[in-house]
Amino acid sequence: MTGKEHQQVIEKLDAVIQDTRALLERFEATGMDEAMPADYQQLNEILESALKQQHEQTLAMLKSS
């Protein structure tokens, strides 16, 4: 992958991260985290995975420079 391609992936992952964080906040504000704990856990797993992938892409981009 080129640096530009890595950057595009990083930006798309950032959008997923921001959207997931916003959804988690709405879950917590409305009590859905307690009413739907399995869904809340899945959202946290999505966030964790996206953060990990973004970190990996950033490292790969830096190594390719």
The number of folded domains in the chain is: 1
- Is residue 11 within 8 Å of 20, Cβ to Cβ? no
Q: Considering the entire predicted model, what is its pTM?
A: 0.91
Give per-residue pLDDT as tens, 37-48: 999 999 999 999
Give per-residue pLDDT as tens, 6-34: 999 999 999 999 999 999 999 999 999 99
Buried-exposed string 25-47: b where 16+ CB fall within 10 A, e elsewhere: eebeeeebbeeeeeebeebeebb
pLDDT of residue 65: 75
pLDDT band at 5 (very low <50, low <70, confident <90, very high): very high
Q: Which domain holds residue 29?
A: 3-64
